Amino acid sequence: MNILVANLGSTSFKFRLFRFGGAGAVTLLAKGGYERVTDYGQAIDDCLAELRAGGHVQSSADLHGVGFKTVLGRNLTGCVRADARVIAALDGFKEIAPAHNPPYALGIQRFQEKLPGVPLVALFETAFYQWVPEAATRYAVPQAWHEAGVRRYGFHGASHKFVAERSAELLGRADIAERVRQLYQNGPVPLAAGARPLRVISCHLGGSSSITGMRDGIAIGTSMGLSPQSGLPQNNRVGDLDSAAVPFVMKTLGLSLAEVERQMTKESGLLGLSGVGNDLRDVRAAAQQGNARAQLALDVFVQSARHWIGAFLLELGGCDALVFTAGIGENNPDLRAAICANLGDLGLQLDAAKNSALRGAEGEISAAGSRTRVFVIPANEELVVARETLRCISAR
Ligand code: ADP
């Protein structure tokens, strides 16, 4: 079975083709992508031509499904067929996810036209949070706002789900790994009587960052709320901000709402704090050369990560494993060390040598006696989308 995963950005189209064999074997057959895309129909044609040339897919008949990592749908989540209902749901929340929803809605429509008969599947980034307790999803807003959709949704669901599954495997909990694998088909099935609980905090730190607490493989809460620009400071997006700041700067700096929105989504986060750039490598290099704003940006990022880890540590009543994933989490031992500093009394201690040696690969970085084990697990969101796509089309 060949499953194509399409990653649609506002001006980019990236793809990965997976082949699923017997007994769960999966191979990445091809990957590629295009920048500065203005016509998704053309990009799809180019992608299929590349796959044909590579000898992987002769025609759309050799393609058994296409998966999309859609972000936020109005009144819709989970892993579902990417049909008119999905397009309407994306459209219904395009104001909240303006960089993500319109390209996915358009891209899915082009795939429908170009590949009639090939099943299309949407895995929403919010899907992993379907079982978060209601109290952790609510803002204290008037009921009408809540009914209009103003609540905490949570994002990076594919990434945190992968961490839930993989960390359970690394901790020898095949029961929980299986529970997570089947989550979107079976819901949160009860654990066997007497099974020990498993508490994991997953830190997806990248261009966009979020931290999720998970009990027995299922999210109990996350740092991102209504939109993917909340929670930790993002690369150039603001993260958490007191709502009073928006009317204040509109009145005192004379900014229009559109300009405030632009600055919050393009000129804030690590870029806004540091004045250097939105890539952590540049911020860190500047900090090492003595740039105080760059150092402050790193400190704010670390402080915010610790704030959310602390929140879930308390909510979970402890933590069996802390996991770092994504570009920053996988490649920056110094940041991991800063985030884990002074937690010995809470039972978490890094092995400094293991931590500094590990970049871009899976491994354990906690000290031998650490009650909370600490892992790096490289992000693998496309694989999650491919697997869920296959499960969704096979279930019918
Ligand atoms: P996205 O959210 O765009 O998928 P990534 O997960 O690729 O982002 O993370 C991008 C961030 O990770 C950037 O801030 C970058 O500085 C950091 N990063 C990526 N690779 C490295 C590396 N080899 N060393 C240090 N930082 C890295």
pLDDT tens for each residue of 299-318: 999 999 999 999 999 999 99
Class of domain 2-124: alpha beta
Question: Hunting for tokens 């499960």 — which residue is that?
Answer: 391
Q: Across the strands, what pairs with 311?
A: none
Q: Are 120 and 112 in contact (CB under 8 A)?
A: yes
Pocket test for ligand 1, best of 330, 331, 380 (most atoms within 8 A of CB): 331
As a whole number of angstroms, the distance between CA 14 and CA 211 comes to 25
Mean pLDDT in residue range 239-258: 98
- Atom number of ligand 1 nearest to Cα 204: 6
d(CA 385, CA 323): 20
Interatomic CA distance for residues 264 and 66, integer angstroms: 33
Share of the chain above pLDDT 70, in %: 100
Render pLDDT for 323-373 as a digit per residue (tens, 0 to 9). 999 999 999 999 999 999 999 999 999 999 999 999 999 999 999 999 999
**Number of C-alpha atoms within 13 angstroms, CB side, residue 122?**
31
**Which residue's alpha carbon is at the smallest distance from atom 25 of ligand 1?**
331
Q: Is the pLDDT of residue 38 over 90?
A: no
| pLDDT > 70? residue 138 | yes
Looking at per-residue pLDDT, the higher value among 86 and 13 belongs to 86
- The reported pLDDT for the residue numbered 270 is 97
Q: Is the pLDDT of residue 233 over 80?
A: yes
User: How far does residue 206's CA lie from ligand 1's centre (Å)?
Assistant: 5
Task: Indicate the burial class of 395 (C-beta count within 10 angstroms; 0-12, 13-18, 19 or more).
Answer: exposed
Q: How far apart are CA 208 and CA 242, in angstroms?
A: 19
Contact residues of ligand 1, CB 6 A cut-off:
206-208, 235, 279-281, 326-328, 331-332
What mean pLDDT comes out for the span 21-48? Answer: 88
Question: Does 396 score more than 70 pLDDT?
Answer: no
Same CATH topology for 2-124 and 173-381?
Answer: yes
CA distance 222 to 215: 12
Tens of pLDDT, residues 262-294:
999 999 999 999 999 999 999 999 999 999 999
What ligand 1 atom has the least distance to the C-alpha of 206?
9
Band of the pLDDT at 227, cuts 50, 70, 90? Answer: very high
Confidence of residue 23 (pLDDT cuts 50, 70, 90): confident
Residue 91 corresponds to which amino acid? D
Residue 5: half-sphere exposure toward Cβ, Cα within 13 Å: 25
Domain boundaries of the chain, sorted by first residue: 2-124, 173-381
Compute the average pLDDT of residues 251-261.
97
Q: Does residue 203 carry a pLDDT above 70?
A: yes
What is the predicted pLDDT for the residue at 177?
A: 97
Which of 155, 281, 284 has most ligand 1 atoms within 8 Å of its beta carbon, as the pocket-test mutant? 281
Question: What one-letter code names the amino acid at 75?
Answer: N
pLDDT for res 40: 85
Best of 280, 334, 381 to mutate for ligand 1, by most ligand atoms within 8 A of CB? 280
Q: How far is the C-alpha of 385 from the C-alpha of 66, rounded, in Å?
A: 9
Contacts of 146 (CB under 8 A, 6+ apart): 138, 139
What's the confidence (pLDDT) of residue 108?
95
Q: What is the structure's pLDDT at 82?
A: 97
pLDDT at 24: 76
Q: Which of 151, 133, 332, 128 is nearest to 212 (CA)?
A: 128
Q: Is 3.30.420.40 the CATH number for 173-381?
A: yes
pLDDT at 230: 95
pLDDT value at residue 35? 87
Residue that has been written with the tokens 């990009």 in this structure: 43
Residue 395, pLDDT above cutoff 90: no
Model pLDDT for residues 61-114, shown as the tens digit of each residue: 899 999 999 999 999 999 999 999 999 999 999 999 988 999 999 999 999 998
- Residue 393 backbone zone (phi > 0: left; psi -120 to 50: alpha; other: beta): alpha
Helix (H, G, I), strand (E, B) or coil at 267: coil
E strand or H helix that includes residue 273: helix 269-274
Percent of the chain predicted with pLDDT > 90: 88
Does the pLDDT value for residue 220 go beyond 80? Answer: yes
Distances (CA, A) of 350 to 6, 99, 189, 323: 37, 37, 33, 12
Residue of 279 and 24 predicted with greater confidence: 279
What average pLDDT does the structure give for the chain?
Answer: 95
Cα–Cα distance, 21 to 122 (Å, whole number) = 22
Cα 84 to ligand 1 centroid, rounded to whole Å: 34
